[in-house]
A and B are shown apart, each in its own frame.
Chain A
Amino acid sequence: MAHRIVGQPVGKLEGLGKVSGQARYSGDVTLPGLVWGKALRSPLPHARILRIDTSRARDLAGVLAVLTAQDLPNILVGRRMFDMPMLARDRVRFIGEKVAVVAAVDPDIAEEALALIDVEYEDLPAVFDPIEALQADAPILHENPAAYEGAPAERPHPNVQSVLRFKLGDVEAGFREADRILEHTFRTQLDHQGYLEPHAGVVAIDDAGRVQVWASNKMPFRLKELLSQALRLPPEQIRVNLTPIGGDFGGKGSLMDLPLAYHLARVTGRPVKMLMRYAEELMAGNPRHPSVITMRTGVRKDGRILARRVKALFNSGAYAAFKPAPSVNLGGTGMGAGVYRIPNLLIEAFCVYSNNIPCGHARSPGEPQMVFAGESHMDMIARELGLDPADVRRRNLLRDGDHLANGHHLEHVRASDTLEAALKASHWAEPKAGPWIGRGMAMTHRHIGVGFTNARLRLETSGTVTLSIALPDTGTGAHLVLRQVVAEVLSLSLDEVEIELANTDDFTTDSGVGGSRVTHTGGRAAYHAAEKLKAQIEAEATKHGIPPGALATIARAAAKDGRTLEASHFYDAKAHAAVTSFTAQVAEVAVDPATGQVTVRHFTTAHDVGTIINPIGHQGQIEGGLIQGLGFALIEEMKTEDGRISTLSLGDFKLPTIQDIPPLTTVILQDPVGPGPFNAKAIGEGSISAVAPAVANAVADACGVRILDLPITAEKVFFALREKVAR
């Protein structure tokens, strides 16, 4: 079916405030009497707090309050497992943990006050490596994690936060049938989401005693629930006001400093703003989990996979508080099976406590780690067997009717089409331009997210339609997509549909932004609300004998009867659709033999997608995710030395710049079979995960060196080349 507005490359009418500087983010919110909160952080990875002396800080002119754990109720916070104090109580468990907080009339005085707080610590033995943390005699971070609210029951070691397991068939029986069994271990780095807006929040207690919150948080209703619990306030006493969010990528879903901002507001009687500095983001944000992943696969001589066992250790840091899933683990772990039908499979992922920065969710949580391991492993298997890596993949690809590691049944599987499209577009079979140039491929796929969204539509007497929604704008272009959906259903032009940003008073619930869900759940909520409004408009038109297209006349006729034409819809998708989106990518790299420097000469990305609602936004998601993936592959690393992050600025922790992007070919396989509006699928997390293994496989092809740990720096390639020559 042809659409008028769905599928059109409209960039207009969105973001005028963003290009003009008028858009107000949380950090831009100001209120009369506003004061600034700043936190003092632990300089030690594991220590007992013997004494905190805040008297000198309290005496500083301009300081309104200084709080320590002794001034706060003993409540632990989290997103699913509640194991983290708002301020450290008796003990710190990572460098950067908050031990005191100050409110002052300006940010500089607040900083000065922090320097006047004396804390006496007594060192405790610390553990940083997840393998060491699981030894019998390892220092224990939490004496009784089972007692924490939301703690999973299975705990083979006190330093284990959670275990996630996927099982198909009988893995040992599968290994017994195999001609060859290959095992490799991979490591991935600690990596920040890299949003350029550090966490920001403003909390004010208004005249009615209500707690007003402006925060860089993508799940306003979950935030309200979590705040209600952390502050022991009834939820209706809290209102979360939506602001644009300066980048999320999975990292903006926690309470972060908001409970402290509330307590400072309560004590000082003033609105409180807390902005993290980027250095604080890098020492105490909630970055992507580093991993150690071992893959063991049994194959037949022809490359057919018979069995696979995957063991993943995620170094979760000092608290589990930032992980939102009920498993308190990373869902991407299931991608240990890759895009392949593996009859006998056992995947086990352990999130492990250590005296490092607590980790959280980052764009497609767990998948870039698992897909790097899995797709590097596939190429290594092909090489061992003397087979073409494309052929080994072809032999094992998922097909219609197959089941994923989590038992989920699949239809409309386009794994093979996507792979062939990427190979063709990348000229895979053609000769390379010279020595030290290599090509590598990698694949992945991702579900279309689930959740629940509320949408409300109102016909204005001007004839325009207002869409009210409580989904914050994290930059994905979702608001424009929703307007396109409404305009399409109601046969309006795009500028006749306006967005009105709701807050948490306006609806009862919403699952917020994340998990590749918004086009699906928000889109369907808007779609069904528009269908309902359309029916009302038609009924009203008939009643008054007005043509159904004369919206202003219809709205005014209804208004004359004292009515407003309104419709709302709550869309709740509980189960994942039977379709996923496949991605196949090919990197072509050049390796400089003198330095080990890897240059990506060209990148091809192929995507199996649903109906595209907005081609500009859709392509923007592909490109942005891909360059994040390239940063993960080659550049980004938060280096730690005994729990201390040594890359504490964006000058040391490097993100890709405009000079780092390769020539790009995008191939789109559009297939209208998604669960979203007009059969859309999801795209936001589809392009990130396969980039690193495609690059690693290309490096191996270029120079015969296999890098097993990310990022693939020039130094690693250089030394591996030297070792290879020595052999």
Chain B
Amino acid sequence: MIRLTVNGTAHELEVPSYRTLLDCLRYDLGLTGSKEGCGVGVCGACTVLLDGKMISSCIALAAFADSREVTTVEGLAQDERLHPVQQAFVDAGGFQCGICTPGQVVSAKALLDANPNPSDAEIREWMVGNLCRCTGYYKIIESIRVAAERSRA
């Protein structure tokens, strides 16, 4: 039995000890926004925030999140309004196929929470764990720049 809060909602559930946090989110809680890409913690498509810090949920056990707070891509928008990072990815073409995008926007949100005014070098450093095969990354950097500018405005 684990207790965890996901996007502000408390859950109590019984899961096998080997259940990953990603599978728990996707299959036990029906939150399929977080994706499994590589399955070994390299590509970042499964990135969620655990107590505000980025983790790869595909290599974290669900039990690890016991008594803690998880934020997934589904938890970023407030009252149907996209988070500024999400809106910037839409406006600046920061995604194409979209499979890495949940992880990208979660990581970008964590970046702007930690550093509201990142340089391009800081964006690259922070986002290095989120692979994207479609965009070539230029528009991801641009999206994060736009989100940071708008947040400052």
Chain B residue numbers with a CB within 8 Å of A108 are: 16, 18
B97 interface neighbour in A30, A107, A474, A617, Cβ under 8 Å: A474
The answer to whether A658 and B124 have CB atoms under 8 Å apart is yes
The answer to whether A650 and B131 have CB atoms under 8 Å apart is yes
The answer to whether A624 and B134 have CB atoms under 8 Å apart is yes
Interface residue? B31 (CB, 8 A): yes
Chain B residue numbers with a CB within 8 Å of A210 are: none
**Most interface-central of A19, A195, A244 (chain B CB within 10 A):** A19
A278 interface neighbour in B40, B97, B100, Cβ under 8 Å: B40
A385 to B29, CA, bound (A): 68
A196 interface neighbour in B43, B86, B90, Cβ under 8 Å: B43
In the complex, the number of residue pairs spanning A and B with C-beta atoms less than 8 Å apart equals: 179
Task: Tell me the smallest distance from the CB of A148 to a CB of chain B, in Å.
Answer: 33
The answer to whether A659 and B124 have CB atoms under 8 Å apart is yes
Interface residue? A194 (CB, 8 A): yes
Interface residue? A557 (CB, 8 A): no
Chain A interface (Cβ < 8 Å from any Cβ of B): 11-12, 14-25, 27-28, 30, 106-108, 193-198, 244-249, 275, 277-279, 473-477, 616-617, 619-620, 623-628, 649-651, 655-659, 661, 664
The answer to whether B39 and A624 have CB atoms under 8 Å apart is no
A19 to B147, CA, bound (A): 13
Chain A residue at minimum C-beta to C-beta distance from B40: A649
In the complex where A278-B37, A623-B138, A624-B135 touch, is A196 in contact with B100 (Cβ < 8 A)?
yes
Chain A residue numbers with a CB within 8 Å of B98 are: 15, 17-19, 23, 244, 246, 475
The answer to whether A651 and B40 have CB atoms under 8 Å apart is yes
The answer to whether A16 and B96 have CB atoms under 8 Å apart is no
Chain A residue numbers with a CB within 8 Å of B117 are: none
The answer to whether B45 and A196 have CB atoms under 8 Å apart is yes
In the complex where A278-B39, A658-B140 touch, is A246 in contact with B99 (Cβ < 8 A)?
yes
**Most interface-central of A244, A624, A651, A661 (chain B CB within 10 A):** A624
Q: A27-B36, A658-B128 are in contact. List 14 more A-B contacts (CB 8 A).
A: A12-B90, A18-B101, A19-B87, A19-B95, A23-B98, A30-B30, A194-B133, A278-B40, A616-B139, A625-B136, A650-B37, A650-B131, A658-B141, A664-B138
In the complex where A14-B90, A246-B98, A661-B136 touch, is A21 in contact with B131 (Cβ < 8 A)?
no
B39 interface neighbour in A277, A477, A658, Cβ under 8 Å: A277
In the complex where A20-B73, A247-B99 touch, is A15 in contact with B133 (Cβ < 8 A)?
no
What are 20 pairs between A and B in contact, CB < 8 Å? A11-B91, A19-B95, A24-B32, A30-B32, A194-B133, A197-B99, A247-B134, A275-B36, A475-B98, A475-B134, A476-B96, A477-B96, A620-B93, A620-B135, A623-B136, A623-B139, A624-B133, A626-B136, A628-B133, A628-B136
Contact with A along B23-52 (1 / 0, CB 8 A): 100110011111111111011010000000
A245 to B32, CA, bound (A): 15
The answer to whether B82 and A19 have CB atoms under 8 Å apart is yes
Chain B interface (Cβ < 8 Å from any Cβ of A): 16, 18, 23, 26-27, 30-40, 42-43, 45, 72-74, 76-77, 82, 86-87, 89-93, 95-102, 105, 123-125, 127-128, 130-141
The answer to whether A247 and B18 have CB atoms under 8 Å apart is no
- Majority secondary structure, B binding face: loop
The answer to whether A19 and B97 have CB atoms under 8 Å apart is no
A277 to B20, CA, bound (A): 15
- Majority secondary structure, A binding face: loop
A18 interface neighbour in B37, B95, B128, Cβ under 8 Å: B95
Chain B residue numbers with a CB within 8 Å of A277 are: 39
**Most interface-central of A195, A277, A475, A626 (chain B CB within 10 A):** A475
A197 interface neighbour in B27, B35, B74, Cβ under 8 Å: B35
Task: Tell me the smallest distance from the CB of B149 to a CB of chain A, in Å.
Answer: 16
In the A-B complex, list the 5 residue pairs whose CB atoms are closest, starting with the nearest.
A21-B33, A475-B97, A246-B99, A18-B98, A627-B136
The answer to whether B74 and A20 have CB atoms under 8 Å apart is yes
Chain A residue at minimum C-beta to C-beta distance from B30: A30
A23 to B40, CA, bound (A): 23
The answer to whether A15 and B99 have CB atoms under 8 Å apart is no
A90 to B140, CA, bound (A): 49
Chain B residue numbers with a CB within 8 Å of A279 are: 39
Chain A residue numbers with a CB within 8 Å of B30 are: 30
In the complex where A16-B82, A21-B33, A196-B45 touch, is A657 in contact with B131 (Cβ < 8 A)?
yes
Chain B residue at minimum C-beta to C-beta distance from A17: B98
Task: Tell me the smallest distance from the CB of B41 to a CB of chain A, in Å.
Answer: 8
In the complex where A108-B18, A624-B135 touch, is A16 in contact with B90 (Cβ < 8 A)?
yes
The answer to whether B97 and A627 have CB atoms under 8 Å apart is no
Task: Tell me the smallest distance from the CB of B58 to a CB of chain A, in Å.
Answer: 10
Chain A residue at minimum C-beta to C-beta distance from B19: A108
